[in-house]
Amino acid sequence: MATVLIDSFGRKAVDLRVSLTDRCNLRCTYCMPEEGLQWLAKPQLLTDDEIVRLVRIAVTGLGVTEVRFTGGEPLLRPGLVSVVERCAALEPRPELSLTTNGIGLARTAAALADAGLDRVNVSLDTLDPGVFRTLTRRDRHRDVLDGLAAAEKAGLTPVKVNSVLMRGVNDHEAPDLLAHCLEQGYELRFIEQMPLDAQHGWDRSSMVTAEEILERLSARFTLTPEPGALRGAAPAERWTVDGGPGTVGVIASVTRPFCRACDRTRLTADGQVRTCLFAREETDLRGALRGGGSDAEIAELWRAAMWGKKAGAGIDDPGFLQPDRPMSAIGG
């Protein structure tokens, strides 16, 4: 019996993204409407025990070596520290990381590090508190900066910063964001805006492309591309800045999709397997869990789902349709 998650194109999924909640305490314009969304009812969400069991099956029986906790906003999950601690105790131990908006990280970073979390990715799209309010519809910029500092102090390193540039809003800040991250010792990665907003307002023509980002950075910094062999399955293309040691990454999800090297599998907050962020099909593991399914039966469902993974997301197709579930329910 196969002990890995492999698809019909030979790609092995060793990176598991686990959405812990669909809820978020920001209302980013590129993610959800100002009034928020209709959140999943608590009985629909996986329990802590169910999450840990699925992660255990993935790590001990399906070859997963990296686990990233996402949301919504995962820091809103009451049992987060316990879930991290229990997953860190698995053998073999997976690499554990967290993608967060940083709000609340200042008070939880030390506990997460003690529980076994290895590192964090924090979203920071601007250095201007006013622009932050425009983008997120919340006045929490200082909390994000404090969260980043707390993560660094707690040893959740390398601290990675994810930035999405919006044309006419914060796209002029690319060089300043890089300068700030270099000064603080953070690893900055720019991400092309993807069609993941629940209101379906994404417009390809208004997206700031990877080439534009690099052009703006190159006006201030000398960028030297890292050899492609160092990238592996990582989505970010990386450049050394001014001779190093600092680097910057660009994830060109739309203009240069990386589907052929994808090594991810995704678990939604309500227990569905997604083979791709943009997939329209899901495989229900929650039903198997609650219906008394064995570990072997659940693993076989997961393997069957991954075998059917498509060659690509189709995001580079001008006629691409956005996913039918908001990003907060799927996980980034």
pLDDT digit string, tens, across residues 289-316: 999 999 999 999 999 999 999 988 655 5
How far apart are the C-alpha atoms of 141 and 37, rounded to whole Å?
22
Element (H, E) at 184: helix 174-184
Which of 236, 77, 255, 71 shows the shortest CA–CA distance to 163?
236
pLDDT of residue 205: 65
pLDDT tens digits for range 249-302 = 999 888 887 788 899 999 999 999 999 888 888 999 999 999 999 999 999 999
The yes-or-no verdict on residue 324 having pLDDT over 90 is: no
Judge whether 250 and 259 are in contact, CB under 8 Å.
no
The yes-or-no verdict on residue 328 having pLDDT over 70 is: no
pTM as predicted: 0.89
The predicted model gives 150-157 an average pLDDT of: 98
pLDDT tens digits for range 39-87 = 788 899 999 999 999 999 999 999 999 999 999 899 999 999 999 999 9
pLDDT tier, 1 (very low <50, low <70, confident <90, very high otherwise):
very low
The 10 Å CB-count burial string (b at 16+, else e) for 153-180 is ebebbebbbbbbbbeebbeebbeebbbb
